[in-house]
Amino acid sequence: MAPSIKVGDVVPKGTFKYVPYAPELDAHTACGIPTTLTTDQWKGKKVVIFSVPGAFTPTCHVNHLPPYIEKYEEFKAKGVDTIAVVAANDAFVMSGWARLMGLKDKIIALSDGDAAWSKSLGLDVDMSAIGFGTRTARYAIILDDLVVKYVEVEPGTGVTVSGADAVLAHL
């Protein structure tokens, strides 16, 4: 899969749903209230976005997200303002995953409903054959003031070019 977005492009505007972390969510008896986050909020910032086909799915849950958590301070040391994980799951599922993984908004968990933003980048994938519908592909993007500095999509089912180490190497 070749993305339609390329290095040097300004990223198209995107709108995501997101449940901000709040201490009352730690009890797991509250759901939080989804809010809207847009790519406009990334203007003037260095942002790392990595996308997973689904929260709680084996590769995403075990191999993709954990290295970003472990290397959070390395990303911050390289000037990254925001790290976001994106999936087509709804905002409540993304919030539940974020809570289980202990993200507490160090990494924000964004819902790209129907993979709409990912589709605008040429980075959606039809997983209807396995009952998942349209999902976000497994990819990573580095933005600097909304300009794409790095974009790679996984060629297979593993985590290589979209993993924490690959992205850190390009910062």
pTM score, two decimals? 0.92
Between CA 113 and CA 116, with CA 114 as vertex, the angle to 5 degrees is 85
Which residue did the predictor score with more confidence, 22 or 61?
Answer: 22
Active site residue 31: no
pLDDT for res 114: 87
The first and second tokens of residue 78, run together, are: 């390289």
Please tell me the distance from the alpha carbon of residue 32 to that of residue 143, in angstroms, as a whole number.
Answer: 28
Candidates 10, 32, 9; CA nearest to 21 is: 32
Q: How many CB atoms lie within 10 A of CB 91?
A: 22
Quote the CATH superfamily of domain 41-169.
Answer: Glutaredoxin (3.40.30.10)
Q: Where are the domains of the chain?
A: 41-169
Q: Does the pLDDT value for residue 117 go beyond 90?
A: yes
The first and second tokens of residue 58, run together, are: 């084996």
The first and second tokens of residue 11, run together, are: 């990223």
Compute the average pLDDT of residues 67-86: 97
pLDDT for res 131: 62
Active-site choice (25, 49, 60, 107): 60
Q: Does the pLDDT value for residue 86 go beyond 80?
A: yes
